């Protein structure tokens, strides 16, 4: 992996990105000698695992279905409201 400073990254960003794309070798970026980020070549797969955080965007469940599933029932809302009122009375 090649290491560059933030100054060098700003000065040569397009060249460095082209290098990562063509050689498929990562570049580490450092500020004041301390590494802060790594630029990795795009592989086409979900490297960060974003799909597990956005399950409601799946083909089987829409955003409305997700909201209705996690929304509190009216009974639960009333219970929460009464607990908050009791908490204020004790303060």
The predicted pLDDT at position 30 comes to 96
The predicted pLDDT at position 84 comes to 84
Q: What is the CA radius of gyration of the chain?
A: 24
Those residues of the chain that have pLDDT short of 70 are 44-68, 90-91
Between vectors from CA 88 to CA 84 and to CA 89, what angle results, nearest 5°?
A: 115
The predicted pLDDT at position 49 comes to 56
The predicted pLDDT at position 26 comes to 93
Q: pTM higher than 0.75 for the full model?
A: no
Identify the structural domains of the chain with CATH numbers, from first to last: 1-41 (3.40.1620.10), 48-91 (no CATH)
The predicted pLDDT at position 87 comes to 73
């Amino acid at each position: 992996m090649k290491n560059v400073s933030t100054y060098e990254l700003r000065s040569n960003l397009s060249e460095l990105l082209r290098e990562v794309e063509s050689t498929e070798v990562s570049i580490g970026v450092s500020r004041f000698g301390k590494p802060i980020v790594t630029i990795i070549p795009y592989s086409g797969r979900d490297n960060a695992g974003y799909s597990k955080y956005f399950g409601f965007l799946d083909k089987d469940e829409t955003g409305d279905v997700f909201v209705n599933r996690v929304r509190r029932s009216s009974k639960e809302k009333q219970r929460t409201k009464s607990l908050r009122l009791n908490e204020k009375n004790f303060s």
